[in-house]
Amino acid sequence: MNGRTLRGKVAVAGIGETTYYKHGQAPDPEFKLALMAILRAAEDAGIDPREIDGFASYSNDRNDPSRLAAALGIRELRFANMQWGGGGGGGAAAVGNAAAAVATGMADCVVVFRALAQGQFARFGQGPRARTIDGDMAFQAPYGLMSPGQRYAMKVMRFMHDHGVRQEALRAIAMASYHHAQANPRAVMNGRPLTEADYDASRWIVEPFHLFDCCMENDGAAALILVPAERAKDLPHKPSYLLSAVTGSDYRCAAPSHNAPNYASASFASVAPHLYEMAQLGPGDVDVLQSYENFTGGVLMSLVEHGFFPPEEANDFLKPENLYAPGGRLPLNTSGGNLAECYMHGLELQLEAVRQIRGDSTAQVPDVEVSMVIAGPMVTPVSSCIFGSEATL
Amino acid sequence: MTAPHYLPEGLPIPVPENDGLSRPYWEGTRRGELWIQKCKDCGTWQWGPEWICHSCRSFEIEWLQVEGKGRIFSWERVWHPVHPALKEHGPYIVVLVELPAAGNVRMIGNLLGDPRQEVPIGAAVEAVFESHDDTDPPYTLVQWRRVDDS
């Protein structure tokens, strides 16, 4: 340890989100959704929105911080940050970037947000429509390898082959999200329970992913507000302190044409050890986990790379009863996650991690002290973060 | 040898980048040849193409013709179309093929034959050149088919 750390220096003061919609069903424009989520996070924090002095997001969010600042009448903009690349892999990195700004005095009150109306703009699950294509995609698109699911299925196929992981392990991950969504009135799939038979009978999207292994496409927005730790004590909610946030990927993860040396990977092999080092915790200390499901196979590899079980034990660990709140070994995606709450590009997972520490999740795990989030796997860069209660400081 | 087209027409046409990085590859496929990069200084094979050797950081990269023989490293069977040209078409198989004679670099292609066939990881495959002569510009894809493992 070199003494440079974010551990305990920044806290989440407030969280907020819009209603979550199926794609194309939001009655409001994406920018307005962003404003609504930010205002709700400020209200939740008991903070005048004009006190916000920074914005952080990821995946080229379309809602420009300067426009947001002008629209909200923010007094002074001091931080405007975009995490490069990696799509939903940037969710925890955006929290880390915002926290770094707060911890170092660059800003005092930074909102992390993501607004996404896939019904109003291009949907992620569609292939390129251009007549010609160059660069790395020229080696992929002409073969019908275009969507995120198609891009990552071969990683999971190889991982399952190498370690004898069965389809039932992926199914358990889907079951956990749907199970928890049934208790969550915000969840798009609330009232739409999933059975193992439903999963097994669902159509293939791209083997090894059934329909229920794939995230939804949604409209909405979510936001959380970070302040210095010393300020959080005076705010209305029990604070969630950021214990660690890390981002990156391992050696030549982006090697073109699927040539990453560590191919069958969620990209966390080098990242996860840094996460635990900064948090001064290990996987056994984690009380509840939100792990981004672009595809269930990515969750499988994320959990292995974060040390929750070795790959050879995946079939034993990944059973629904182990993943269900409140009593499972590792309650997973307790709001319903990207599969069943809302695909808010994983920012909804950050909000849920905070709720678990506050004690007001709809699938609450008892006495949560350590609440972890793994952002979008298999991309590069990826990111993950850990929140803790005051007792962990 | 040449082959009929595995997927329907209308998918994006591959072209070299403005800076020409991958031009030797695409020109080679038009001749029915497989060309990939190798570092002149340290001998490391490299795919996809880049302007520098990732192993020794030399800019002295050459293109060499390699034999179109490989092994299936991973695969997927696509059922849900995400492009208009693929509507009503499917399933189809995408394979990731490693080339043992070229440092185990990997290339993407389709696996020719029955789209519902079993696909064993590790199985031997050989390249098949699929010419698209009527597009603007014309291009040739490298596809793969199973061969005896002997």
Would you call A142 and B92 a contact, using CB atoms and an 8 Å cutoff? no
According to the model, what pLDDT value does residue A190 have? 98
Q: Residue B7 falls within a domain, yes or no?
A: no
Q: Residue B112 falls within a domain, yes or no?
A: yes
The mean per-residue pLDDT over the stretch B66-92 comes to 96
Cα separation of A24 and A55, whole Å?
26
The mean per-residue pLDDT over the stretch A149-159 comes to 98
Q: Residue B3 falls within a domain, yes or no?
A: no
Residue A315 burial (CB count, 10 A): 16
pTM of the predicted structure, to 2 decimals: 0.97
The mean per-residue pLDDT over the stretch A61-87 comes to 97
pLDDT band of residue A1 (cuts 50, 70, 90) is low
A49: phi then psi, degrees, rounded to nearest 5? -55, -25
- What SS3 class is residue B13? strand
According to the model, what pLDDT value does residue A129 have? 83
Q: Residue B37 falls within a domain, yes or no?
A: yes
Range of the domain at B61: 23-146
pLDDT tens for each residue of A332-378: 999 999 999 999 999 999 999 999 999 999 999 999 999 999 999 99
According to the model, what pLDDT value does residue A120 have? 85
A252 alpha carbon, distance to own chain's centre: 23
**% of residues, chain A, pLDDT over 70:** 99
**% of residues, chain A, pLDDT over 90:** 95
Would you call B74 and A264 a contact, using CB atoms and an 8 Å cutoff? yes
**DSSP secondary structure letters along A325-338:** TTTSSS-B-TT-II
Q: Residue B138 falls within a domain, yes or no?
A: yes
Q: Residue B15 falls within a domain, yes or no?
A: no
For chain A, where are the alpha helices, taking DSSP H only?
30-45, 65-72, 91-103, 148-163, 167-181, 196-201, 229-232, 271-279, 296-305, 314-317, 320-323, 347-358
List the catalytic residue out of A21, A178, A199, A292: A292
CB < 8 Å from A in window 35-94 of B: 47-50, 54, 73-80, 82-84, 86, 91-92, 94
According to the model, what pLDDT value does residue A2 have? 65
Q: How many domains does chain B have?
A: 1
A292 is catalytic: yes
Burial of B145 (0-12, 13-18, 19+ CB in 10 A): middle
Cα separation of A8 and A388, whole Å?
8
Q: Residue B11 falls within a domain, yes or no?
A: no
Is domain A10-122+214-392 in CATH 3.40.50.300, yes or no? no
- Report ipTM for this prediction: 0.97
Quick check: B149 and B124 in contact, CB under 8 A?
Answer: yes
Cα separation of A152 and A375, whole Å?
15
Give A144's contacts in chain B (Cβ within 8 Å): 7, 11, 78, 83, 86, 92, 94, 110
pLDDT tens for each residue of A100-151: 999 999 999 999 999 999 888 878 888 888 899 999 999 999 999 999 999 9
Give A258's contacts in chain B (Cβ within 8 Å): 96, 106, 108
B142 touches chain A (CB under 8 A): no
pLDDT tens for each residue of A236-254: 999 999 999 999 999 999 9
The mean per-residue pLDDT over the stretch A31-55 comes to 98
First to last CA, chain A: 17
Domain extent listing, chain A = 10-122+214-392
Cα separation of A205 and A152, whole Å?
12
pLDDT band of residue B149 (cuts 50, 70, 90) is confident
What is the overall mean pLDDT for chain A? 97
According to the model, what pLDDT value does residue A119 have? 81
Q: How far is A100 from chain B (nearest CA, A)?
A: 32
B90: nearest Cα among A258, A203, A133: A203
